[in-house]
A = this chain, B = another copy of it.
Amino acid sequence: MIIQVKHHLGEYPVYIGADLLANPQTWLSHIKGRQVMMISNQSIAANFLPLLHHHFKHLQCDQFVLADGESSKNWQNLQQIWDALISQGHRRDTTLVAIGGGVVTDITGFAAACYLRGVNYISIPTSLLAQVDAAIGGKTAINHPRGKNLIGAFHQPQAVIIDTHSLRSLPERHFRAGLAEIIKAALIQDQIFFHFLENNSAAILARDEKILTQIIYRACQIKAHIVMQDERENQQRALLNFGHTFGHAIECVFDFKDYLHGEAVAIGMVLAARLSLTETGLTVAEFDRIVALLDKLTLPCHLPPTIDSEKLLQAIYQDKKNSHQGLNFILLTKIGQSIIKSIQPEILKPLALPSPS
């Protein structure tokens, strides 16, 4: 299956299917020059690089392997990637190939954005989260000690290759966390898709490859549709942040350690849905369906009893201050329909209270 994503300088395909990496004839043509630099991380590299090396044997093929984890999305690694490109003589027609989760696709995209003022890159996201989120839309970045993704660029890939086989080896907790962004896509834009997720939760958790391909395809389609209308995130693209203000604040309060991004977003979506009850007319029945689906897919739905409410509120205000949009939140008018709404700070206070233990 292919989704074509248009942007202001051209367009690129997102290929979705089983075993795409073993069959490169569909996507190898997106490498234009005679050089590639594969960028991956330690736990992924052994699984994928030998196969890709084989596909790229007619090219100058170099590689750069990052340590696992979010902390690899840093300055030092970015510089080392550029140093490697320069010392190995990569020219303006080289292609960087990212193979890994969001950390790898984000730093690779940013390295490509600024090397010789922009070279091509191909994104091969191997985690569910990266497949339905990081790989589409051209957002690239590294982290700064003071915050995530503060330094980055918009730089579109030549192609995105989502091989559902790569999910087989994904640890269970990471797999489930990725589902949060799929549920988000349904919540903000597609009621029927939400219904589909409700009806197929068992198959999803069993990683039925046919169902997975379908839901990844639909989530990517929704994201692609939104980013095509607002490439630089001036307006509508903000809808993709549903649950994310609360989610980021939760990640922040726990120092990015206790919760995976998708887990924090799951709780964040419940909080945003709760806010939608009073602010935008979401019904209690719909709210209950949202919590039930998250629960069925074994995602967390409540703030932990130990949370420091004051710290959480501060983190929310900080996030909003950085985004210079006042206290605008993405809320649901119903399942499958979202809007941006300005919220008075006081209204947030009861939401930040921990769940009774």
Contacts and interface: CB of A to CB of B under 8 A. Distances in A.
Interface of A: 8-9, 33, 75, 79, 82-83, 86-87, 89, 91-93, 110, 113-118, 139-141, 144, 146-147, 149-154, 232, 321-324
Given A75-B79, A87-B146, A110-B114, 15 more contacts: A8-B8, A9-B232, A86-B146, A89-B321, A92-B322, A92-B323, A93-B324, A114-B151, A114-B152, A115-B151, A117-B141, A117-B149, A118-B154, A118-B232, A153-B153
Nearest to A147: B86
Given A114-B153, A153-B117, A86 B144 contact: yes
- As for how many copies of this chain the complex holds, the number is 2
A146 B116 CA distance: 12
A278 to B, nearest CB: 29
A139 B214 CA distance: 42
B322 A91 contact: yes
A35 B44 CA distance: 43
23 contacts: A8-B8, A8-B9, A75-B79, A82-B144, A86-B144, A91-B321, A91-B322, A91-B323, A92-B322, A92-B324, A93-B324, A114-B114, A114-B151, A114-B152, A116-B150, A116-B152, A116-B322, A117-B140, A117-B141, A117-B152, A117-B154, A118-B154, A118-B232
A243 to B, nearest CB: 21
